[in-house]
Every structure is written in structure tokens, then in C-alpha cells.
Structure 1
């Protein structure tokens, strides 16, 4: 028994040394230590899970942080994959697409992208309660995977990349502002024609 316990402990140490961690656990090393987080659905499960995982990874979530993660839109679709006997639905596929933005200083958009996760669950017409539970579990799994993928995306952003994105966004905003000012100036300097008077008959 002691040997078996030692073997299990040894395997656990080896796996953790290799960077292995159980799915849905652990923390992530991120380039930033503070972040603003918002979502269209402020109290939704996805943004709640995102906040918890960021905080457990040592990120201070607060308004006014240098960078802001915006979970702009989350859309779910469902389709039937196969039918069982007697026309009963056999398999459903649930797909969730999460669109997100990362904003920098002065709320400038740095990048926009999306994540997509699909899960399949079995629907049994003779066991509606069990089928509903399976559908609920599939959606929970989708949200967990979306949050984990989002963390991996954030983990790939280095301080140098964030600085470069900020500089690019500032240059773009400056160019757009200059173009708008030039257009307004040109319009102001263009002589306006007086309305043509039509002689009365």
C-alpha cells in the first residue's frame, strides 16, 4: 500500500514538473497584471468565469486599467446531426461563437477576434430530463473551453506586442483625426452658392 501511494505521488510530481494540469484548473502567466473586463451581458456565466480565472491568475480586474477585454457578443446555434429510430432526434450539435475586443489606452481598439467551440450531445426522446441535463452539461463545457481558450490568447500577448498594437492604434486614430480635420477645413473654405432666384412669371 505504501509503495502504491509513493508511486502515485511520484507520478503526480513528474506530471506537475512537465507542466501538466487537470483540465479547467491552474493559473496562467499573463503579460499584464491589471485589466478592465466588460461584456454585453455583465452578469453572464462566461464573463463571471473569465473574471474568476483572471483573478486566480493574479490579474487585478478594475475600471481604468491600461488594457480592457470586451466580450462583445456571444452567439449560440444548434443543429440536428442525426436521427434515431421512429424519427426521434439522436444527436444535437451546439456551437457558441464569442466575439471579443482588446482595447488599450484612451479606449483605442488594439485587436478584434473570435473564438468558436462546438459540442455534441445525445437527445433521448424517452428520457427528456436526462437529455436536458446533457444539454446543460454541454453548454457548461463550452463556456469552460471558451474561457480557457481566451486565457491562452491573452497569454500569447507579450508586453512588446501590446506596445506595438497601442502605437499602431494611436497612429491610425491620429491619421483619421487629421483626415477629418482636413475634410472639415476644405468644406469650410468652399464658397457656398447662393440660392438661385427664379423670376416670377
Structure 2
């Protein structure tokens, strides 16, 4: 518990040093005012909480928005961090990795990245019920950290940056289309070699 509190305090200090404040303490709203948010698990806890946080932050979350945030994958892993054979207690480290992409017009990918959060909780073999509750609480804290981390990432983006990414993506798509068309014209204009005729015996 002490380590967890120290970690949270350290994170808060780092975020405040970067000019970020937690919701409800005077933080500015996101520059992005419209966003479509979806996930592989459309009704999952993570995407549901993220939509709620964004809406409370002044973002109009709706289908058909100019940009779309897609939570493409969310994986949780658990490993034993320490063992204590005497009272059968052990520390477990939970890690959640969230892969996401932001799509622009015509679902053109603009950027892809991932978030990773981790926490440690103690599993006491002599207190199974308490340990299970501790595990559930730790997972809920991980999800809140994941959602807050995603909001921080979005706060670093502006509509101008997304527009620039969209323009670059459109230019790449145009160049690829022109290259494909040129290759097709070359194939169409190049005489096909006649198959080799073998004289009859």
C-alpha cells in the first residue's frame, strides 16, 4: 500500500510538472471537440469509462465525428513479483497494455500507439476473500489509470495536428494511387510476349 501511494504521489508530481492537472482541479478542456470512440469490445468497461470522461471534459463523442479513436486491443498479464513461503503470501504484478489508433476521413490511419500501466498487489493465501477483493480493486485502479492516460495522450493533440496528419496521409494515398496507375499503364502498353510455339513433330 505504501509503495502504491508513493507511486501515485510521484506520478502526480510528474504530471503537475508537465502542466497537467487531474480532472476537477482546474485542468483545461481538450482541444479536440469532436471524436468517435470505439473498441473491439463495444460495451467494455474501458471504452465506456473513456467515453464518459471525454464527455465530461467537453468532447462531443458521436458516430460520424471527423476523427475516430479505436481501442484495437487490450491485454492483461499477471506475474508473481515476490514470494513469501511462510504465510503463503506473494506480490503479483498486473500489467495492462492498450493498443489504439486514430483514424481520419475515410478511416485513413493517422497514428497508432499503445499505453501500458502496471500495479502490484499482495495475495495472501490465508485470506483468499480479502486477496480476491484486492485483486479486483487493483484491476479497477489499472483501468482508471488507463483511461486517464488515454485522456492525457489526447490532450497532447490538437485539431491542427490531426489535420496535418490527415493531409500527409492523403498525400501518401495519392502518391500510392498514382504509382499503381503508372504501373498499370506500363503493363498495358508493354507488348505481351507470344508464347513459344513448338513445331509439331
Specify if TM > 0.5.
yes
Are residues 28 and 149 of structure 1, via their aligned partners in 2, closer, same or farther at CA, if it must alter by over 3 Å? farther
Partner of 1:184: 184
Partner of 1:110: 110
Q: Is the 8 A contact 1:117 1:142 kept in 2?
A: yes
Partner of 1:99: 99
Q: Is the 8 A contact 1:46 1:143 kept in 2?
A: yes
TM-score normalised according to structure 2 size: 0.81
Query: Using the alignment, how far apart are the partners of 2:129 and 2:192 within structure 1?
Result: 73
The within-5 A match list for 1:47-196 is 47-86=47-86, 88=88, 90-196=90-196
Larger C-alpha radius of gyration, 1 or 2?
A: 1
Alignment partner of 1:174: what SS? helix
TM-score normalised according to structure 1 size: 0.81
Query: Using the alignment, how far apart are the partners of 2:98 and 2:184 within structure 1?
Result: 38
Partner of 1:32: 32
Query: Root-mean-square deviation (CA), in Å?
Result: 2.3
1:136-164 Cα shifts (integer Å, max 9, x gaps): 11111111001101111111112321221
Alignment partner of 2:161: what SS? helix
Give 5+ residue unaligned stretches, structure 2: 1-18
Are residues 164 and 20 of structure 1, via their aligned partners in 2, closer, same or farther at CA, if it must alter by over 3 Å? closer
Query: Using the alignment, how far apart are the partners of 2:95 and 2:136 within structure 1?
Result: 13
1:65-118 Cα shifts (integer Å, max 9, x gaps): 101101111111111111111593501101111111111122211111110000
Are residues 131 and 95 of structure 1, via their aligned partners in 2, closer, same or farther at CA, if it must alter by over 3 Å? same
The within-5 A match list for 1:38-49 is 38-49=38-49
Alignment partner of 2:145: what SS? helix
Query: Using the alignment, how far apart are the partners of 2:146 and 2:28 within structure 1?
Result: 15
Query: Using the alignment, how far apart are the partners of 1:140 and 1:197 within structure 2?
Result: 74
1:141-189 Cα shifts (integer Å, max 9, x gaps): 1110011011111111123212211111111111111122222222223
Q: Is the 8 A contact 1:32 1:59 kept in 2?
A: yes
Give 5+ residue unaligned stretches, structure 1: 1-18
